[in-house]
Amino acid sequence: MRTLSSLVVVSIGLFTLASSAGTAHAQVAEQLFREGKRLMAEGKIGEACTAFEGSYRKDEAVTTLLNLADCREKNGQFASAWGHFIEAERKTRGNTGEAGFNATAKDRASKLEGRLSYLIINVPDEARVDGLEITRNGQPVDRAEWNRDIPVDGGAWKVEGKAPAYEAWSTTVTVGKEKDKQSVNVPRFRALPADVAPPDGPETLAGPAPSTFTSKRKVALGVGVVGLIGLGVGNVLYYQASRTYDDAKAAQTNEDRVRLTDDANSKYLVAQIGWGVGVAAIGTAAFLWITGGPTSPERADETGVIFTPRVDGRSAGFALSGRF
């Protein structure tokens, strides 16, 4: 029971919303209709037609449609007016209650037909390429309208044609307001030129994608290995030097103490050299890896790296030279 009650409440709510929306549309339609009548009385025909058209979009009343048709006729848009009268006659056909509207629409449409202007868009067989689209003032022209007299309002009409892989085409034609007939002939479309190699240069064939491991990066890997070895050797010798210092402190004689201390100092110096080489090599390897990507110009004959350890009695260092 609760589910049924909920459904009933929801249905009522939706009906209420729909009714409210319909009422709002009717109110707007009525206001626009009255505005159209006022503008017609003031002689502002173009603005009146816009108001009637807006009213009809909100509420498709036959009376509004007949007023819109009458407005278009007074504005010199005979094809639009004729189309609206035809639609009004169709909507009221067979309805005895709207027989008066039907007779009016039929009579007005009949009188306008002799005043219509036409535009023919001729699309010959040689112009019918795959994917062809024809537009008239930006609106698509159905294929059924090609090569046929189609009523149009007087004025300038831009006819365009486009198709994939072909050059676009367009032209503009002016159609008289009344009893005029103009035609547009769609030409044979020209295919767009295929992409070709530049005529002033040799033909270039696409080669394989460049390898990630360029010359610089191969050098970077080797330098990185040297750096890791240097750090490893430095750590081992530092550990041995610390053990030797401990042995020197525990020595029983002065001679043993001096010998062990000198040995520990030598190991510590070599450990410093190993650390220096390791840090410098790893830094160099990182630089070579970053700057040696596949997009960088490679000049194998100009690329080289030279490592030179430097040691004196008080310090140890590492020298790097070469061209990149």
Domain borders along the chain are: 17-113, 117-185, 215-323
Class of domain 17-113: mainly alpha
Residue 128: what pLDDT? 95
How much is the pLDDT for 42?
96
Which pLDDT value is given to residue 246? 78
CATH code of 117-185, in short, is 2.60.40
Output the pTM of the full model. 0.54
Tell me, what's the pLDDT at 2? 46
What per-residue confidence (pLDDT) applies to 45?
Answer: 97
Residues of the chain below pLDDT 50: 2-18, 196-198, 201, 296-303, 305, 307, 311, 313-316, 324
Distance of CA 20 to the CA centre of its chain: 40
C-alpha–C-alpha distance, residues 121 and 142, integer Å:
11
Q: Are 53 and 65 in contact (CB under 8 A)?
A: no
**pLDDT confidence of residue 11:** 43
pLDDT tens-digit readout, 180-196? 999 999 999 999 987 64
- What is the Cα gyration radius of the chain? 46
pLDDT at position 205 is 53
